[in-house]
């Protein structure tokens, strides 16, 4: 005889308790979700949660410096050209002079 939905759910819940399984949830933006899907497909892994578990296990094996470098978030460096900096400074000086003239 087939089990009912409730019986299957109860059995699954017992299994989760037996292995101390814990559900972790977090929100991701579309770009991250798409990247996870690409990684899943490239790695031929059927479930995204499995990809994340494998990634965490591999990161745990990394040395401290390797992990720090791996987890460093890519940042853009803003470099202001000297001419642009001069234009901004000059504009600020003109604005300050104009405000001083209006106050007098």
Residues 21-35 pLDDT 10s: 888 888 888 899 999
Predicted TM-score of the model (pTM):
0.54
Percent of the chain with pLDDT over 90: 53
Q: Does 104 have pLDDT greater than 80?
A: no
Q: What is the pLDDT of residue 90?
A: 95
Q: What is the pLDDT of residue 102?
A: 82
Question: Looking at residues 12-21, what average pLDDT do you find?
Answer: 87
Q: Which of 36, 34, 62, 64 is nearest to 51 (CA)?
A: 36
| Domain span at 37 | 5-103
**First-to-last C-alpha distance (Å) of the chain:** 95
Domain count, the chain: 1
CA dihedral 22→23→29→34, nearest 10 degrees, is 90
């Amino acid at each position: 005889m087939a089990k009912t939905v409730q019986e299957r759910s109860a059995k699954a819940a017992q299994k989760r308790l037996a292995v101390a399984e814990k559900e972790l949830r977090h929100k991701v933006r579309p770009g991250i979700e798409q990247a996870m899907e690409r990684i899943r497909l490239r790695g031929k892994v059927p479930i995204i949660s499995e990809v994340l578990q494998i990634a965490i296990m591999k990161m745990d094996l990394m040395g401290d410096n390797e992990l720090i470098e791996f987890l460093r978030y890519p940042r853009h460096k803003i470099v202001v050209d000297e001419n642009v900096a001069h234009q901004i400074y000059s504009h600020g000086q003109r604005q300050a002079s104009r405000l001083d003239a209006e106050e007098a």
